Amino acid sequence: MSHEIPLIRDYMRYEIYFVDEDDPVSKCVGIFRETGLPIVVVLDKRGRYLGVVVDRVVIRSTVNLESLKTRNAAIKAPIVKTSDTISKAARYMLENVVKGLPVSNEEGKLIGTISVEDVGRVIAEKLKMNMKVKDVMTRDPITITTDTTIGKALVLMRENGISRLPVIKDNKLVGIVTIRDILEKVVQPRTRATLGEVVGERIKSLSYPVSNIMTRKVVEASPEDTLENAVKKMIDNDISCLIVTHNRRVIGIITWTDILEVIASLEEREKVPVNIQVSFKISNISEQEKNEIMNVAESFVKKFREFIGNGYLLLHFKEHKEKHGEERLIHCRAKLTTDRVNFTSIGEAWTPSLAAKSALDRIERQMLTMKELTERYPYVEEVFKRLLGEL
Please tell me the total count of domains within the chain.
3
212 within a domain of the structure (yes/no)? yes
Q: What pLDDT is stored for residue 29 in this prediction?
A: 83
Q: What pLDDT is stored for residue 369 in this prediction?
A: 75
Residues 307 and 366 sit within 8 Å (Cβ to Cβ): no
Q: What pLDDT is stored for residue 268 in this prediction?
A: 57
Q: What pLDDT is stored for residue 368 in this prediction?
A: 78
243 within a domain of the structure (yes/no)? yes
Residues 245 and 282 in one domain: no
263 within a domain of the structure (yes/no)? no
**48 burial level (CB within 10 Å; 0-12, 13-18, 19+):** exposed
1 within a domain of the structure (yes/no)? no
Element (H or E) spanning 136, and its range?
A: helix 133-136
Residues 96 and 143 in one domain: no
Residue that finishes a domain, picked among 125, 160, 178: 125
Which CB contacts under 8 angstroms, 24+ apart, belong to 322-329? 324/350, 327/351
Distance (Å, whole) CA 240 – CA 116: 9
Q: What pLDDT is stored for residue 198 in this prediction?
A: 46
Residues 232 and 338 in one domain: no
2 within a domain of the structure (yes/no)? no
361 within a domain of the structure (yes/no)? yes
Distance (Å, whole) CA 388 – CA 366: 13
Residue that finishes a domain, picked among 104, 125, 146: 125
Q: What pLDDT is stored for residue 195 in this prediction?
A: 46
Residues 14 and 119 in one domain: yes
Q: What pLDDT is stored for residue 384 in this prediction?
A: 46
Distance (Å, whole) CA 22 – CA 268: 41
CB atoms within 10 A of CB 47: 9
Residues 179 and 216 in one domain: yes
CATH number, domain containing residue 46: 3.10.580.10
What number of H helices and E strands is found in the chain? Answer: 15, 17
User: Which residues are within 8 A (CB) of 163 and not within 5 positions of it... i.e. 6 or more apart?
Assistant: 157, 178, 179, 180
Tell me if residue 261 falls in helix, strand or coil: helix
Residue that finishes a domain, picked among 238, 257, 276: 257
Residues 172 and 285 sit within 8 Å (Cβ to Cβ): no
Domain that holds residue 215: 133-257
Cα atoms in the Cβ-side hemisphere of radius 13 Å centred on 188: 16
346 within a domain of the structure (yes/no)? yes
Nearest CA-CA partner of 240 in 227, 231, 229: 231
Q: In what order do the strands lie in the sheet with 274-281?
A: 274-281, 311-324, 327-338, 342-349
* Distance, C-alpha 146 to centroid of its chain: 25
User: Which residues are within 8 A (CB) of 353 and not within 5 positions of it... i.e. 6 or more apart?
Assistant: 289, 292, 293, 295, 296
Q: What pLDDT is stored for residue 34 in this prediction?
A: 86
Q: Are strands 100-104 and 110-115 parallel, antiparallel or unpaired?
A: antiparallel
Q: What pLDDT is stored for residue 389 in this prediction?
A: 43
Tell me if residue 357 falls in helix, strand or coil: helix
Q: What pLDDT is stored for residue 305 in this prediction?
A: 81
Residues 274 and 364 in one domain: yes
Residues 253 and 274 in one domain: no
224 within a domain of the structure (yes/no)? yes
CATH number, domain containing residue 316: 3.30.160.100
Beta partners for residue 349, in sequence order: 330
Q: Are strands 80-81 and 49-54 parallel, antiparallel or unpaired?
A: unpaired
Residues 116 and 167 in one domain: no
Residues 18 and 100 in one domain: yes
Low-confidence ranges of the chain (pLDDT < 70): 1-3, 58-63, 187-204, 268-272, 321-326, 371-391
Beta partners for residue 278, in sequence order: 315
325-378 per-position pLDDT tens digit? 667 889 999 988 887 788 888 999 988 999 999 999 999 888 877 766 555 544
Asked whether the CA dihedral 350, 354, 360, 366 is positive or negative, the reply is: negative
Residues 273 and 305 sit within 8 Å (Cβ to Cβ): yes
Residues 158 and 243 in one domain: yes
Residues 141 and 253 in one domain: yes
Residues 236 and 341 in one domain: no
332-346 per-position pLDDT tens digit? 999 888 877 888 889
